[in-house]
Structure 1
Amino acid sequence: MTDLALSIGCFRYDTTAALFDGSVTVGGADATVHSAATLPEIFERVIRRNEFDVAELGLTFYLRLLETGLPYVALPIFPNRVFRHSCVFVNTHAGIARPADLIGRTIGEFGTYGQDSGVWAKGILMDEYEFEPRKNRWVIGGLDQTSAPFDFIPHPHPADVEVTAAPEGATLGAMLDAGEIDALFSANVPQCVLDGSPNVARLFPDFEPLERDYHRRTGIFPIMHTVVIRRDLIDERPGLAQEVYRAFSRAKQDAADRYRRNRRLYEVQTMIPWMNALVERNGEQFDEDWWPYGIPANRTTIDTYLRYHYEQGLSSRRWRIEDAFAPELLDIA
């Protein structure tokens, strides 16, 4: 393969930092890595302008556009994963003490009905607590800054689910704090929570034991985002998909190795007390590769997400893993 100028758009995480600093490169390519202030900005640049050759993209954004035609295909690279029991916030005066109390309530969600975090939260609540999204009213808007629902993706939802936009000038965080909505499913922690408002709390205040138990029982570590690559590029450049996969994998492995090495130093490169104890506790629960890429190690997690997407009316068909990811990487580990 001759050298190729390759543009990559993604957020800077532990898992991608080595791509940004150039210590990991894509074989056969001269890659330039770009980011943005927020993840939706990256997604919009991919979707509106096909701006990047390789890019991070939320799973729900990818699946919605897969139905209508998208010049990208997903690689089994997952730079963003978060357990999501912790992402459901409630107004403390609304009388919501347990999942069953969400029935009939008005719930906010950032950007679109069925954001990646919301798909996971709804799905987990449906599987484990008999939650039914159709029994709620959903309000879509900006979290702490005013924003209309995303206008660069389709907004499918079942006909029997009531979904409206937040009032002009309103933010979901402020609406939750004021009791104008009863609950909020959010990928990010609302500012009112960060500020210590007594009016807002998590549905599951002690969420870590619940999320650890969920992982032990299911083996699922929820995936939010994947990485996509231009279809025409991998058609023209056999082996490029594998090179991109290897580069992202090496960058992720470099980050994991730093945590392993720094156990000797009690993780003093961070400012977080007891970080070493957390790393050791996680080591007891997770496999050696606790953040795996590839289909084989993530098949249950991916298939669960595809099921949730369909059950929640966000897909017109029940996608198979083989339909959604680059065929040449289906067996790579």
Structure 2
Amino acid sequence: MSNLTLTIACWGYDKVKPFLTGEVKIQGVDINLKKIWVQEIFRRMLGNKEFDASEMSFSAYINTLFTKDKPFIGIPVFLSRKFRLGYVFINRESSIRSPEDLKGKRVGIPEFRHTASVWIRGILEEKYGVPVESVTYVLGPMEREKSLNKYYIYVPQLDSTELYRNDIKIVRAPEGKVLSEMLAEKEIDALYHAQIPTTYYTTDKVKRLFDNYIEEDLKYFKEEGIFPIMHLLVIRRDIYEKNKWIAKALYDAFLKAKEIAYEELRVTGVNTYMHPWLEYEMEKITKLMGQDYWPYGVKANRKTIEKFIYYMYKQGLIPDKLGVEEIFAPETLDT
């Protein structure tokens, strides 16, 4: 009996490298792993279901669970996580000095459903007293296509997400305008994004709201125990329904690959990665967050998942809160 071939698209993380080197294999499955920049993966998977399985924006996936066909099913493999308070940018000449000064301001975002923006809005409301409805959101592309490096993909803003609140103020950036330039030119007051705007580097007009953002991120982690999830692994539902064993097989394989990545991070005889003080950083991280600071599975991530669902519901992105077990393939639940 021939193996099942699965085409999986994700970014080239250290956590997936063992599939490329052949260190991790799945019995009965041949994996065709494609390294593609994340925004392009989302566009192609959401638009055309182009891959058998892929990395997926957490918020976009949650939204698909409220569609008629529910095209994907999640695996609790969290390929991207990132603390977010370092990604709130302001104009250096603005009157914004503290998070509360954001109230009444115009804030650029790529789309309201954007996972990074969901986390930023939720944390700013919950911890800093900035209600989601207290700002006007300006939707637009981050950069001009000609200015993008290969790790930016220009995606036209076609956000048609239905909102279940009528008090959220959303406008679109004028045609031909991009958010990074609008911030530098004070046409918007702030920017919430997953990436750093080019004008942060090319002008002296853009700065972070939180100069001490690592301290603020650590404060959130210490209070909540949450390391924000950005992306997870999903399988096309039609493929899952025909071969349900694949869900657990993929989960186990990605878990094994992550353990190999941990081992490489803990090597002390040589510098596996181009970081002169990696051992020092690893000691700090594991002391604060534990040895498995990037956990997969439902049990270790329940609070983080519940918080994100709460933020999406509170911000009007979904009509009802989902139970954690409703999000993932039953075969992968470790509750």
Does the pair score TM above 0.5?
yes
Give the CA deviation at 1:155.
4.9
- Residue 104 of structure 2 corresponds to 104
1:1-333 equivalences under 5 Å are 3-36=3-36, 38-68=37-67, 69-110=69-110, 112-145=111-144, 150-151=157-158, 154-156=161-163, 158-195=165-202, 197-261=203-267, 263-265=268-270, 268-331=271-334
C-alpha contact (below 8 Å) 1:57/1:227 kept by paired residues: yes
Task: Please list every run of 5 or more consecutive structure 1 residues that lacks an aligned counterpart in the other structure.
Answer: none
Q: Structure 2 CA distance, aligned partners of 1:300 and 1:149?
A: 34
Q: Is the partner of 1:67 in helix, strand or coil? A: coil
Q: Is the 8 Å Cα contact of residues 228 and 304 (structure 2) preserved in structure 1?
A: yes
For residues 114-151 of structure 1, the C-alpha deviation after alignment (integer angstroms, 9 at most, x for no partner) is: 31111111111111111112121111111112667543
Deviation, structure 1 residue 2: 5.1
Deviations 1:228-261 (A, max 9, x none): 1122322222321111111111221111110112
Kindly provide the CA deviation profile for residues 190-213 of structure 1, in whole angstroms up to 9, marking residues without a partner as x: 111133x22111111111122122
Task: Judge conservation of contact 1:113–1:155 (CA < 8 Å) in 2.
Answer: no
Q: For 1:192 and 1:157, how far apart are their aligned partners in 2?
A: 34
Question: 5+ unaligned residues in a row in structure 2: which ranges?
Answer: 146-153
Letter in 2 for 1:216: K
RMSD: 1.8
Cα separation, 1, equivalents of 2:160 and 2:59? 10
- Report the secondary structure of 2:133's partner residue: helix
TM-score (norm 2): 0.92
Comparing 97-106 with 128-137, which one deviates more in the overlay? Answer: 128-137
Distance (whole Å) between structure 1 residues aligned to residue 53 and residue 155 of structure 2: 27
Describe the superposition over 1:54-94 as per-residue Cα deviations: whole angstroms up to 9, x where unpaired: 11100111111211132210110100000011111111111
Indicate how the Cα distance of structure 1 residues 169 and 21 shifts in structure 2: closer, same or farther if over 3 A, else same. farther
**C-alpha distance in structure 1 between counterparts of 2:22 and 2:160, whole Å:** 32
Q: Give the AA of the match of 2:24.
A: V
- Partner secondary structure for residue 89 of structure 1: strand
Letter in 2 for 1:122: R
CA distance, structure 1, for counterparts of residue 318 and residue 129 of structure 2: 21
Identity percentage of aligned residues: 34
Quick one: distance in 1 between partners of 2:239 and 2:86?
39
| Superposition deviation, residue 153 in structure 1 | 5.9
